[in-house]
Amino acid sequence: MSTIESVLVENRVFVPSEAMVRNARISGMDAYHALCAEAEKDYEAFWARLARENLVWTKPFGRILDESNAPFYRWFDDGELNASANCLDKHMGTPVEHKTAVVFEADDGTVTKTSYRELLSRVGQFANALKAQGICKGDRVLIYMPMTLEGVIAMQACARIGATHSVVFGGFSAKALQERIIDAGAVAVITANYQMRGGKELPLKAIVDEGLAMGGCDSVRAVFVYQRTQSACNMVSGRDRTFSEALAGQSVECAPVAVGAEHPLFILYTSGSTGKPKGVQHSTAGYLLWAKLTMDWTFDLKPEDIFWCTADIGWITGHSYVAYGPLAAGATQIMFEGVPTFPNAGRFWQMIERHQCTIFYTAPTAIRSLIKAAEGDAKVHPDRYNLKSLRILGSVGEPINPEAWMWYYRNVGGERCPIVDTFWQTETGGHMMTPLPGATPLVPGSCTLPLPGIMAGVVDEAGHDLANGVGGILVIKRPWPSMIRTIWNDPQRFKQSYFPPEMGGKLYLAGDGAVRSADRGYFRITGRIDDVLNVSGHRLGTMEIESALVSHTKLVAEAAVVGRPDELTGEAVCAFVVLKGARPEGDAARAMAKELRDWVAKEIGPIAKPKDIRFAENLPKTRSGKIMRRLLRSIAKGEAVTQDTSTLENPAILEQLGQAY
Ligand code: WT7
C-alpha cells in the first residue's frame, strides 16, 4: 500500500497493493463497478444469479422480488432450502468436509478444533434432542449462552429443524430475558450453568430461573443446560435437562427440514427510539445469501484463510460472521470465549500469532482500549507479537476515528493489510458499505462505498437526494435480500420506523446521518439521528434507559438520558434525574447514583449503566412540556449552552444540571 496526498478533509488515502488486487475475488475498481452496473441494469436478475450460485436450494425459486405488499418485501419466496444444510451438509464430500470449521479458544486458553464433519454430527444430534422435546418448525427458541461452540451448535440445530431462534446476549438481565421470552413466545430456552469470562465464573442458568420466575413465561416447556463448568446449578425436574441428558441416545443424523425462503431464521432484539426493544425478524434465504457472499466479497475469503470475528453470538455480528457466514463460506474460523484483556491486553495479538489468523475483524472500542493498554505497558503492544499471518483487518459497530484507524493499520496490520470499515446494522443482516480489500482506496474513518446491489444514498427530510459534501439522512433506496422483514409482533412499528410515510414510504431509513466526500463520493457516517446510543459498539435506546430509571418508582420522579462523546467507548450514557425526595449532594449523591446504576443493570444489563448521573430539581422543558434534549446534550458534553433558554420555567436548574456531584 502507498500513501497518496489528496484534497479530502481526511487527506490520507491508501491504495491496495498490486498483489492484493491481482489475487482478489473482486479485483480492482473496474470489477467493482462492473458488479454495480450488473445490479443497475437488471436488479432482480443480479440477485437471482447470486442466490442460485451461493445457496443450495431443495426447491428452486421462480419468483425473485415480490413488492406487492411493500414494505413487507419478499425474496425468492417460492423457493425452499435449509440454512444449516447450507452451512454444513453442503460441504460433505468436498475438501471442506474434513477441514477445521472452528478453532475454539476457551477463556483459560484451552484450544479445541472441530471439523465440518464433526460439527454436522453435533448439530444433528442436538437437533434430535430438540425434536425429542417436541420442538418443531415455527417454534421460537431462546438462546442465552456463553461464547462457546455450543452456542453455535444450538443456533444451527434450531435452523436445522426450522425453529426460529432468538439469541440474547449473556450480559442482559433476567428482566430483559423475561421480556424477550414473552414477546417471542419462546417454547424453550437453551442456556449454560455458568459462563467463563476473564477468569471469572458468571451465572447464566440462575438468571434464566429468575427471568422465568418473573411470570408470563408459560410458553416455555423445556430448558436445556450446557454444563460449562463443574459448579452445580438449580434444576427444575420435568422442565430442565442438561445437554448430556438431552443428547443421550440421540442419533447424530437429523435430516434438515426444508423451509420457505422467507421462513424466519431468527429474531434478534435491538434497541430503538422507544422504551421497548424491537424483535428484528430475518428471513432464511435472503439473510444467508448475504452472510455468505459478504464473507467472500468483503473479506476476500480464500480456502486457506483463518478468519476471526471477535463478536459475541448475542449480537448480529456474531450471527452473520460467526454462526452463519463463515460456515456457509466453508471457512476455518477462530472462536474466542473470553475477553480481550485477560490474562492481559495482549490476548488478541497472542491469539492471532498462535492460530496464524489471516483475517481479523473487531470493534473500534476494542482497538481503542488496546491502544491505551499498549501505551501503558510495552509487553502488550502488538509489536511484541508476530502478526505476519494477517492479510486483512476489519472494523465494525461504530465509527472508527482516524487515529485509531492509523494505529490499527500500522501496529496490527504492519501497513500491509487493508482495513475494511464495515457499516451495517442488526436490520441489514450483513455489510452495506465497506471498502473491498482488492479494490477500494482506503480513507481512514470512511466506510467508503456501498457493496454491489446496495443502493445507498444521502437525502434531506423530504427524501430528496443531497449533493456530495452535504450532510443528511442515510437511506437505502431499493429492498435487498438480507433486509429486516418485520418487527416481530409489531408490523406497524416496522413500517413507521424504517419506511416513514413522510419520506414517501419507499426509502429504508437506517437511522444514521451521513455525508459523501466531494471528490470520491465516499460515505462517512456521522452518527445516529434518532434516540439511539452506541456505547462500546452496543446499541442502547435512551428511552429504554429512561424507562428503566423511572421504573424505580420509590425514588425517581423523572429522568432524561442522552449520550455524550467518550474517548474510549465512543459514546457514554449520561442521565439527568429528578428524585422524589430532596436533591442529594456529596456522598449522598454518590450513594444514590450507585443505587440507580445498579438498578439499571438489573433492569437491562450492566452495558446500559449510566456513566454519569446528574441530579436536579427539574428537567429543562419547553412550554409545551417537551424535554430539551439538545440542551441536555450540550450540558452533558460540558459545553456552554447556546440554545434559547428563555422558555425555561426555572433557569437556575441549568447550573444544577451542569454539576457533577
Ligand atoms: C449502528 C448499528 C454493524 C453490526 C453491529 C452493530 C453504527 C455500525 C458502523 C461503521 C459507523 C457504524 C451505526 C448503525 N455502526 N457500523 N462501520 N461506521 N457507524 O449493529 O447494534 O444494529 O448498530 O451501529 O450507527 O446504525 P447495531
Cell numbers given for 89: 451438509
Give per-residue pLDDT as tens, 503-523.
Answer: 999 999 999 999 999 999 999
Cell numbers given for 354: 498462535
Work out which ligand 1 atom sits closest to the CA atom of 421: 17
Strand (E) or helix (H) holding 511:
strand 508-516
Q: Residue 365: CB within 6 Å of ligand 1?
A: no
C-alpha span between 540 and 607 (Å, rounded)? 9
Q: What is the pLDDT of residue 484?
A: 98
C-alpha span between 302 and 24 (Å, rounded)? 9
CB atoms inside a 10 Å sphere around CB 169: 19
Per-residue pLDDT at 225 exceeds 80? yes
Give per-residue pLDDT as tens, 137-183.
Answer: 999 999 999 999 999 999 999 999 999 999 999 999 999 999 999 99
Q: What is the pLDDT of residue 234?
A: 97
Q: What is the pLDDT of residue 3?
A: 35
Residue 515, phi then psi, degrees to nearest 5: -140, 145
**What is the CA(235)–ligand 1 centre distance, in A?**
38
Q: What is the pLDDT of residue 8?
A: 41
**What is the CA(395)–ligand 1 centre distance, in A?**
10
Per-residue pLDDT at 248 exceeds 60? yes
The mean pLDDT value of the chain amounts to 95
Q: Name, in order, each residue with C-beta under 8 angstroms of 553's C-beta and a sequence gap of 6 or more.
A: none
Q: Residue 423: CB within 6 Å of ligand 1?
A: yes
Q: What is the pLDDT of residue 1?
A: 32
- Dump the DSSP string for 125-160: HHHHHHHHTT--TT-EEEEE--SSHHHHHHHHHHHH
Q: Residue 528: CB within 6 Å of ligand 1?
A: yes
Residue to substitute in 534, 542, 571 for testing ligand 1 pocket (most ligand atoms within 8 angstroms of CB): 534
Cell numbers given for 73: 418485501
Q: What is the pLDDT of residue 646?
A: 76
CA-based nearest residue to 635, from 661, 609, 614, 608? 614
Q: What is the pLDDT of residue 4?
A: 37
**What is the CA(240)–ligand 1 centre distance, in A?**
37
Q: Residue 398: CB within 6 Å of ligand 1?
A: yes
Per-residue pLDDT at 76 exceeds 50? yes
CA separation, residue 410 to residues 356, 382, 418, 438, 643 (Å): 18, 10, 10, 18, 42
> What percent of the chain has pLDDT above 70?
98
**What is the CA(101)–ligand 1 centre distance, in A?**
27
User: In the predicted model, what is the mean pLDDT of residues 374-402?
Assistant: 97
Per-residue pLDDT at 78 exceeds 80? yes
**What is the CA(426)–ligand 1 centre distance, in A?**
8
Give per-residue pLDDT as tens, 29-58.
Answer: 999 999 999 999 999 999 999 999 999 999
Give per-residue pLDDT as tens, 99-131.
Answer: 999 999 999 999 999 999 999 999 999 999 999
User: In the predicted model, what is the mean pLDDT of residues 489-508?
Assistant: 95
Strand (E) or helix (H) holding 190:
strand 188-192
Q: Residue 525: CB within 6 Å of ligand 1?
A: yes
Residue to substitute in 425, 446, 483 for testing ligand 1 pocket (most ligand atoms within 8 angstroms of CB): 425
Reported as a pLDDT band with limits 50, 70 and 90, residue 2 is very low
Q: What is the pLDDT of residue 228?
A: 98
CA separation, residue 298 to residues 44, 470, 503 (Å): 22, 27, 31
Q: What is the pLDDT of residue 657?
A: 85
Reported as a pLDDT band with limits 50, 70 and 90, residue 9 is low
Give per-residue pLDDT as tens, 604-628.
Answer: 999 999 999 999 998 998 877 888 8
Q: Whose CA is nearest to atom 20 of ligand 1?
A: 425
The string over 438-469, giving b where at least 16 C-beta atoms fall within 10 Å of a residue's C-beta and e elsewhere, is bbbbbbbbbbbbbbbbbbbbbbeeebeebeee
**What is the CA(510)–ligand 1 centre distance, in A?**
10
Q: Whose CA is nearest to atom 17 of ligand 1?
A: 423
CA separation, residue 152 to residues 132, 329, 416 (Å): 20, 15, 32
**What is the CA(430)–ligand 1 centre distance, in A?**
11
Q: Residue 447: CB within 6 Å of ligand 1?
A: yes
Per-residue pLDDT at 543 exceeds 70? yes
With beta carbons less than 8 A apart as the criterion, state whether 473 and 500 touch. no
**What is the CA(263)–ligand 1 centre distance, in A?**
25
CA 623 to chain centre: 39
Three-state secondary structure call for residue 547: helix
Per-residue pLDDT at 348 exceeds 90? yes
Per-residue pLDDT at 630 exceeds 90? no
Q: Name, in order, each residue with C-beta under 8 angstroms of 314's C-beta and a sequence gap of 6 or more.
A: 167, 168, 169, 170, 171, 172
